[in-house]
Amino acid sequence: MLNFEIKDATRELTIARSLKKYNAPFKVIGGYRLIDNGMDPEATVQIEANGRIIHEASTGNGPVDALAKVLKKALTPLFPQIEKVELIDYRANILNAKRGTSTDVEVTIIFSDGEDVWRVYYLSENINAASFLVLIDGYEYAVLKNNRGLIKENNL
């Protein structure tokens, strides 16, 4: 049986973000745009980091795939280590089905860069928004863990 540790990136990021000295390695400008006609979902995003703004668009096999691809496409020129990051598992758990379409959904994604494995999760009534925020956290964690300069700068 394989033995490996899945790091709780959501917890680590929550703690880091609570510190006044924390500076995120990138930020999303204006959220994301998602067009999903049921056949060809398309996502767009603008990322700001290192004094640059990158605007990208991408399609995917579903809305979450489109969001993952557009973020990876926008972040890779700024943070080449993102190229190695893969989504290993995606889960969306409905927490209170009695609320119907306004129920809370917890989205969990497990990521790996081939060396480490980490998990991020987010709760929202909007499954696409939760998925996007989980993707942001997963990629942010990847940048922080692989960029010693940012970790040292943030004293993390």
Q: For the whole model, what pTM was predicted?
A: 0.88
- Taking the CB of residue 85, how many other CB atoms lie within 10 A of it? 24
Cα 97 to Cα 48, 94, 104, 122, 124, distances in angstroms: 37, 6, 8, 17, 13
Q: Which fold has domain 6-150?
A: Double Stranded RNA Binding Domain (3.30.160)
Cα 58 to Cα 3, 44, 69, distances in angstroms: 36, 7, 6
Query: SS3 of 55, please?
Result: strand
Of the pLDDT bands very low, low, confident and very high (cuts 50, 70, 90), residue 152 is very low
* Region 70-97 average pLDDT: 92
Q: Is the pLDDT of residue 123 over 90?
A: yes
| The predicted structure's pLDDT at residue 94 | 84
| The predicted structure's pLDDT at residue 1 | 67
